[in-house]
Amino acid sequence: VNWDSQEIAKRIGADHPNREAKPIKRILFDSRQFSMGEGQLFFALVGKHHDGHNYIEELYLKGIRVFVVQGISSNNLEDAIFLKVEDSLKALQMLGKGIRTSIDPRLVAVTGSNGKTVVKEWLYRLLAHQAKAYRSPKSFNSQIGVPLSLWGMPEDTEIGIFEAGISQPHEMHHLAEILKPRFGIFTNIGSAHGEN
């Protein structure tokens, strides 16, 4: 996807400051993922044991200038662009949903307690020579991983193969809304997931 900070702001329902938009090439949600180079956007995610907002100044000093935040900004970071949202995880998921809608490949979602990655890789190997296929990287199948996988999907993708995994009740609903798969494959549902 080739979106700048202005387009991303529009997709996630945030106001863009009145300054030049910055091109975005990479999305981060963990300060340890930082690599040199421009075009990085940091989603300050908030969880039970972490708060991404605590790393904004550190990442700013390393060169990141675009941040998705939950209603805060820092006045001393003059040239930073803060895209303010109510919930940064939901904003990341909205971004994924926007990418899915704009590219719109035939999409296959693979889910189950085990075997998702193997089945996804098998399907990719079978389909890649028939169409422009893309598969989610590694085991990116979570509430965070699925939107990040969509960010990496080329715009000419004809078939997308994505894993979808859950760890809490009701999470599959969010993934289904983001992916909107045409086809679904269940590997198996073990006791760990049966109740959810």
Could you tell me which of 79, 78, 85 has the C-alpha nearest to residue 53?
Answer: 85
What's the pLDDT tens digit per position in 129-146?
A: 999 999 999 999 999 999
The total of other beta-carbon atoms located within 10 Å of residue 44's CB is 23
pLDDT, average across residues 169-181? 94
Q: Between β-strands 66-69 and 106-111, what pairing exists: parallel, antiparallel or unpaired?
A: unpaired
Whole-angstrom distance, CA of residue 171 vs CA of residue 164: 10
Could you tell me which of 79, 73, 77 has the C-alpha nearest to residue 19?
Answer: 79
Put simply, whether the predicted model's pTM sits higher than 0.85 gets the answer yes
Tokens for 14?
């945030």
Residue 186 has a pLDDT of 94
Could you tell me which of 118, 175, 117 has the C-alpha nearest to residue 146?
Answer: 175
Average pLDDT, the chain: 92
Residue 188 has a pLDDT of 87
What is the distance, to the nearest Å, from the Cα of residue 47 to the centroid of all Cα atoms in its chain? 16
